[in-house]
Structure 1
Amino acid sequence: MATVADDVGAERRDDGFFLWSSLLMALVLVAGFSVQLVAGRSSFGAPWYVHAHALVFFGWVVIYVAQTAFATRGPMRLHRLLGWVAVGWVVAMVIAGFTVIALKIRAGQAPFFFQPQHFLIANPLIILLFASLTAAAVSMRRQTDWHRRLHMCAMIALLGPGFGRLLPMPLLIPWSYQIANLPGLAFLAAGMIVDHRRTGEVHPAWWWGLGAILGVMIGTELIVHSPLGSLIYEAVTAGSPGAAVAPLEFAPPPPPMG
């Protein structure tokens, strides 16, 4: 009984770390997209499906922060109730993410600092990684230590678009995607450090999360530069303007505004 009480007490002492981490991750995403809007590189004139994706994406950010707050500050009743809403929201995230990526690729509108085929393969794999880590967290919801760490790893997987909008992506070619996804690992490293300072060891959930994220990054490169990657690109772009775009070449940057 004493061991169980100690474990519960230790998790409660970590509440502040998880709450503040959720707020900082939300700040990264909000700041990244806000910078693009202020700089005029994004606008409300984008197609409807881009707005729908943004609504679903930032809806998840709100859910994640709220869920962390309810779990660490209460009431737990709302945490459990919102949890079932979150499960359905993950499905919407997958559908919206896949849809907007496919439509942009078919329109030949991949960002110029990404190879179109890389953009097409990398982003769906990140979405599936997020959904898989979230599903694992939900399945272990009765094991708080695993549950909260896997959820945080899933959120870390989504930080690439936020950091990518804060970093000078054109200057990072040809490693824009990889570099944009690395800063998020600082949150994972912070979790490892917090655990090690408290218990003298790193919780295995962090290692599973790190392995999954790095595995997807490596798997992305293998698929992109393989016949399978080419087949996927051809299938998605068939009969569209995107079919005329060189899949493994970087497009020239757009002309300066004004």
Structure 2
Amino acid sequence: MTTMTAAPSRMAARTGATQFYFYMSLCCAAVAFVSFVPTYWLPMKAGTLKVNPIVHVHGAVFFGWSVFLVLQTWLASSGRIARHRSVGLIGVSFATAMTIFGTLVAINGLKEAAAIGMRDEAIAFVIVPLSTIAFFAVVFTLAIANVRQPELHKRLMLLAAISILDAPIARWFLTFLAPPGAVGPPPVAAAIPPAVVAYLLVVAAMVFDWRTRGRPHAVYAIGGSALLLLNLLNVPISASHPWHAFASGLLALAQ
């Protein structure tokens, strides 16, 4: 009797876990879409958005990946594991394009800010998008390397998705908290509050793990801590001579 009742219980737990990742991916996609409403979607609809075309490509690639992640988690949660794996290479293509275009947009922003006389501010702030895309690329690569270990793979994929949400969330901070008429990049420290808001999703994942497996997975404990530490270290590193030399080199190549 105990064995017979335990089996359905374990099955229900596994089903709940896969559905959790589906809902988390939906949340990430919703945050990515809604957060760009005031600074991208509405200005584009009004015809007032003036940006380099590469920004549109960047946006399409990043949002396309978030939608693809929803599809992949839905396939997994509905038991279509073979289909989930067969289309996985599309995700690799998305992540590769995200790394490329994320870097290009960061450098384009550096160039545009320098052009309006904010060279030092731009050189400091470019560490934020570059470190974010680098973290995403590393975690995504680890997720692919552990594709045959589902417990690692799905958590790494979720961490990768959450790691790039600070930029969308920052749009609301800029919309409601930036001084009127502010132009150019904000201080590097201004990127920390949006990042902390995004990391609440990591906390939610840790709580879910705690309730379903008795303890948070190491991916969240180590990866989440590394992500938070990265954002905190961006502040002193962005003011260092080595970083200014590196970013100045990027700016020189872009001009």
Match status 1:51 vs 2:59: no
Cα distance, 1:178 vs. partner? 0.5
Q: Which residue of 1 aligns with 2:34?
A: 31
Of the three residues 146, 166, 170, the one matched with 2:178 is 170
Distance 1:28 1:47, change over 3 A: same
Equivalent residue in structure 2 for 1:94, among 80, 99, 106:
99
The percent of aligned pairs where both chains have the same amino acid is 25
After superposition, the Cα gap between the structure-2 partners of 1:4 and 1:158, relative to the gap in structure 1 and judged at 3 Å, is farther
Structure 2 CA distance, aligned partners of 1:184 and 1:110? 31
Residues 110 and 119 in structure 1, CA contact (< 8 A), matched pair in contact too = no
Compared CA separation, residues 60 and 152, structure 1 to 2 (3 A): same
Q: 5+ residue gaps in structure 1?
A: 242-258
Equivalences for 1:208-223 in 2 at 5 Å?
A: 208-223=222-237
**2:151 maps to 1:145:** yes
Name 2:251's counterpart in structure 1. 237
What TM-score, normalized to structure 1?
A: 0.81
Report the Cα distance in structure 2 between the residues aligned to 1:239 and 1:129, rounded to whole angstroms. 23
Structure 1 residue 12, shift from structure 2 partner = 2.7
Distance verdict in 2 for CA 1:7–1:144, change over 3 Å? farther
SS in 2 for 1:27: helix
Q: Which amino acid aligns with 1:134?
A: F
1:67 to 52, 69, 72: 72
CA shift in 2, pair 1:236/1:185, >3 Å: same
Deviations 1:113-163 (A, max 9, x none): x93123211111100101111111111112211111111111110101111
The correspondence of residues 116-131 of structure 1 with structure 2, limited to 5 A, is 116-131=122-137
Tell me which stretches of 4 or more aligned residues in structure 1 moved more than 3 Å: 2-11, 37-45, 109-112
Q: Would the alpha carbon gap of residues 130 and 77 (structure 1) be closer, same or farther in structure 2, given more than 3 Å must change? A: same
The aligned amino acid for 1:126 is T
Give 1:66 shift. 1.0
Name the CA distance, whole Å, in 1 between partners of 2:134 and 2:7. Answer: 34
User: 1:44–1:141: structure 2 CA closer, same or farther, 3 Å change rule?
Assistant: same
d(CA) in 1 for partners of 2:11 and 2:78? 14
Return the alpha-carbon distance in structure 1 between the equivalents of residues 243 and 155 of structure 2: 32
2:75/2:83 contact within 8 Å kept: yes
Q: 1:52 to 1:200 in 2, by over 3 A?
A: same
Q: Tell me, what secondary structure is at the counterpart of 1:223?
A: helix
3-state SS of 1:183 partner: helix
Q: Following the alignment from structure 1 to structure 2, what is the Cα–Cα distance between the partners of residues 156 and 194?
A: 16
Letter in 2 for 1:133: V
Q: TM-score, normalised by structure 2?
A: 0.82
Q: CA RMSD in A?
A: 2.9
Tell me which residue corresponds to 1:203. 217
Structure with the higher fraction of residues in helix conformation: 2
Match of 1:182 in 2: 196
Give the Cα–Cα distance (whole angstroms) in 1 for the partners of residues 207 and 72 of structure 2.
Answer: 23
